[in-house]
Structure formats: structure tokens, C-alpha cells
């Protein structure tokens, strides 16, 4: 199988990840709960994973990073823990449902929302963000890169505006964590939501949320934390405040190995490899008759995600043929992002999405190009 669905979840994972999940499942107790050796050792897996992630994103205080189930979980904890009736939020016309749906739910409860339009290549005009700011603007919430067409947002510049105006800046790094440099200090990020299971190579059921120490989120769930157990109230200390219940210790230990693997290879090398794949793919498909490509032509401006359609063939059918006849895994449809499809004009058709990852090769890209030539020929 040639796996081009890394934007949904990465596959394969580095061997170290599989081995660590297996090892830890066999030896783990409940971290932070109990004083026997197995519990203490399990606490260390979590602590080490926190440390690895913090150094990857330049987070100074590891206690400000919590583990979650996935990006969706992180975004819900952040948005619902931060916003209250009367607050104004600015977001973009490229957001994933995991951002826009919680925001729409909050809108029903009295927050104000401005969705800043992007152009058909997914680019946002920074001036439009500035113009949208009001006296009650509490938050700018933005995805780092589009999961439909890969366009990278200028988060550093937008973060700097947010900082100047004392507005909280939240970044959804679902498509960049692990394949593109992120530095919460340099990028002016106050809240960072990320998945463990995509480019960080962790198992599914892992994710994280960084919350700067300037921000105090309310809890959206309370429960056992293993700390301050004499109190019937949720502890106010981080990370316990936002991390209730037994964590996914084997998964988090696997994620730690994923991050170590990334550091060993180097984010820059991972990014360069993915850029090479994007460039080769775009070059190879651009002249295929009837192929419609979406997004930026320049690999510098996108992460390893390419969406396309073949005129007169349903996106689902193209994806089906790629799978059945060519053993190539892609994703078709709307990719949980109706806003982005409205923006790029594919709300009715959807797209066929190719999501490249570090383990993909140029040879695999060439096979996909050949397959698309063959499929498109049938329609000429």
C-alpha cells in the first residue's frame, strides 16, 4: 500500500514508537497515583514526553503543556475554557470543523464571531484581521496550515499583531506539528493545539495543548488528578487542572518516541523531504489533461497536502480507483472542512486529497502520477 493519507493520521510510525507502546503497556501502572515503583515509573514516561514536546515547541514551563486525546479535544478545552458571553473571536475561512464547530456552539451561547475570508488559494490578508478587531476581541483562532490544500498561514505576523493588541492567539497546529518549525515564543503563540497521531508519529488517542502562563482556562471537565485528593474541588495547579482521569500512558510514551525520532532526523530535514515530494507531485500532475489542482503552486507555501479533482469523475470514484486498482490510499470528500471548500469553490464536488509524510518516497510519488495519468486518460 502506498499511504498518502498522512494528513488524517500518519502511517507507518517509526519502529521506536511501536516498541515503546508495546513495552510500556506491559509495565505501566497509573501515573501520578500511588507510590509503588510501577506508578512512579509511569509518571516518568509522562514527564519525559512533556519534556520532549516542550523542547520541540520551545515551551519554557512543561507544566503548561497538557495531554489530550487529539486536536479536537485540545481545541474544545481551549475555546470553551477561555471564552465567555460577550467575547469576540476572529477566525478564518479555512478552518477545520474541529475549530469552527465549537465556535458555532459558543456563538449560540453568546460569543461574537468574525470569520475572515481567505482567497481561493487559502491565503489570508493580515489587514483583514486587523480590520476585524473590536474592543471586545478576546481571541484570534487560526489553523497553521490548511488540511485541504496545505496553505501555510503567516502565524508569526498574526501572532505579533495579537500580542500588540493584547488579544490571545490560538494556533491549531494539526497539520504542522512535527513537519514544520513551531516556536511558541518566536511565533507569538499563547495557546497551541496539536495532535500526537499525525506528523509527531504518536499513536491515535494522543494530542496536546500548550497554554501560556498568562492565560487561565476554566475547566470543561473535572475529576481525579492524583493530587490534592483531600479536596472535593478541582485543583487549580497545572497541568492537573486540565488533565483529569487516567491518561493514555502507553500512547504518550509512544508519542515521546515519535518526538525523539523527529529530533534525530531534524525538522528542517523532514520539511525539506516533504517539500521535495510536493514539488515532484505538482510538477508531475500539472499537465495531466482534466486535472484541476487547488492551492499554491509553490511548495514553500504549503505543507505536504495536495487536493485535486479530475474533471467529470467524482472525487470518491478517483479515490476508489486509486485504492483498488493502484493500491494507493488517499482521502476524498470534504475533509471535515466545509468552510475551506466554500473558500476554494469545491463544496459540491469535494476533492481527492494526497497527504504526504516523511516515510513517503519519490518513487511512490511517481507511481501516483502514473496512476492519475491513466485515470484521467479514461475521461479524455
Ligand X SMILES: Cc1ncc(COP(=O)(O)O)c(C=O)c1O
Question: For binding to ligand X (CB under 6 A), which residues are involved?
Answer: 8, 70-72, 96, 98, 143, 147, 172, 174-175, 195, 207
Please name every residue paired with 90 in a beta bridge, in sequence order, or none if there are none: 114, 140
44, burial (CB in 10 Å: exposed 0-12, middle 13-18, buried 19+): exposed
- Catalytic residue of the set 28, 54, 118, 336: 336
| Minimum distance of ligand X from residue 325's CB (angstroms) | 26
| Minimum distance of ligand X from residue 95's CB (angstroms) | 7
The angle at the Cα of 244, spanning 240 to 247, to the nearest 5 degrees, equals: 100
Q: CA 226 from chain center: how many Å? A: 29
Looking at beta carbons only, is 42 or 74 nearer to ligand X?
Answer: 74
Dihedral sign for Cα 110, 116, 120, 124, please.
Answer: negative
Enumerate residues 6+ apart whose C-beta is below 8 A from 256.
20, 45, 48, 49, 52
**Rounded-to-integer distance, Cα 218 and Cα 199, Å:** 29
Residue 54 annotated as catalytic: no
Looking at beta carbons only, is 3 or 28 nearer to ligand X?
Answer: 3
Please name every residue paired with 208 in a beta bridge, in sequence order, or none if there are none: 67, 194
| Minimum distance of ligand X from residue 371's CB (angstroms) | 24
**Rounded-to-integer distance, Cα 67 and Cα 207, Å:** 6
| Minimum distance of ligand X from residue 71's CB (angstroms) | 3
Strand, coil or helix: what is 5?
strand
Contact indicator for 96, 233 with CB cutoff of 8 Å:
no
* Block residue for cell numbers 487516567: 246
| Minimum distance of ligand X from residue 326's CB (angstroms) | 24
Looking at beta carbons only, is 156 or 374 nearer to ligand X?
Answer: 156
Strand ranges for 145-256 from DSSP E: 168-172, 191-195, 207-211
Looking at beta carbons only, is 32 or 195 nearer to ligand X?
Answer: 195
How does DSSP classify residue 91?
Answer: E
Looking at beta carbons only, is 139 or 371 nearer to ligand X?
Answer: 139
Task: For 321-355, give the DSSP string.
Answer: HHHHHH-EE-EEE-TT-HHHHHHHT-TTT-EEEEE
Looking at beta carbons only, is 72 or 123 nearer to ligand X?
Answer: 72
| Minimum distance of ligand X from residue 98's CB (angstroms) | 4
Catalytic sites, residue numbers: 336
Amino acid at each position: 500500500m502506498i499511504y498518502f493519507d498522512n494528513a488524517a493520521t500518519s502511517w507507518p510510525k517509526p519502529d521506536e514508537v511501536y516498541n515503546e507502546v508495546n513495552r510500556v503497556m506491559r509495565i505501566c501502572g497509573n501515573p501520578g497515583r500511588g507510590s509503588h515503583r510501577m506508578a512512579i515509573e509511569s509518571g516518568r514516561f509522562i514527564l519525559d514526553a512533556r519534556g520532549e514536546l516542550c523542547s520541540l515547541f520551545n515551551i519554557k514551563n512543561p507544566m503548561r503543556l497538557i495531554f489530550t486525546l487529539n486536536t479536537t479535544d485540545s481545541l474544545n478545552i481551549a475555546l470553551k475554557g477561555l471564552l465567555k458571553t460577550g467575547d469576540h473571536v476572529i477566525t478564518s475561512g479555512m478552518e477545520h470543523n474541529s475549530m469552527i464547530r465549537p465556535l458555532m456552539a459558543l456563538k449560540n451561547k453568546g460569543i461574537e464571531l468574525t470569520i475572515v475570508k481567505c482567497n481561493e488559494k487559502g491565503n489570508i490578508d493580515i489587514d483583514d484581521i486587523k480590520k476585524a478587531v473590536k474592543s471586545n476581541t478576546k481571541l484570534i483562532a487560526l489553523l497553521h496550515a490548511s488540511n485541504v490544500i496545505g496553505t501555510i498561514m503567516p502565524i508569526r505576523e498574526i501572532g505579533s499583531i495579537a500580542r500588540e493588541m493584547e488579544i490571545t492567539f490560538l494556533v491549531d497546529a494539526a497539520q504542522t506539528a512535527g513537519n514544520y518549525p513551531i516556536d511558541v515564543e518566536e511565533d507569538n503563540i499563547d495557546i497551541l493545539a496539536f495532535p500526537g497521531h499525525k506528523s509527531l508519529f504518536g499513536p491515535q488517542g494522543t494530542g496536546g495543548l500548550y497554554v501560556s502562563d498568562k492565560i487561565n482556562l476554566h475547566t470543561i471537565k473535572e475529576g481525579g488528578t492524583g493530587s490534592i485528593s483531600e479536596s472535593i474541588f478541582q485543583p487549580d495547579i497545572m497541568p492537573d487542572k486540565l488533565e483529569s482521569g487516567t491518561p493514555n500512558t502507553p500512547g504518550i510514551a509512544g508519542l515521546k518516541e515519535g518526538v525523539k525520532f523527529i529530533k534525530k532526523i531534524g525538522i528542517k530535514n523532514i520539511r525539506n523531504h516533504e517539500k521535495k515530494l510536493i514539488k515532484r507531485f505538482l510538477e508531475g500532475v500539472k499537465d495531466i489533461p482534466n486535472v484541476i489542482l487547488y492551492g499554491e503552486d509553490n511548495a514553500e507555501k504549503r505543507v505536504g497536502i495536495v487536493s485535486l479533482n479530475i474533471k467529470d469523475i467524482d472525487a470518491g470514484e478517483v479515490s476508489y480507483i486509486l485504492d483498488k486498482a493502484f493500491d494507493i490510499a488517499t482521502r476524498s470528500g470534504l475533509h471535515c472542512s466545509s468552510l475551506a471548500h466554500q473558500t476554494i469553490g469545491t463544496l459540491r464536488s469535494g476533492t481527492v486529497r494526497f497527504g504526504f509524510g516523511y516515510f513517503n518516497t519519490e518513487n511512490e510519488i511517481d507511481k501516483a502520477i502514473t496512476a492519475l495519468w491513466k485515470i484521467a486518460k479514461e475521461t479524455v
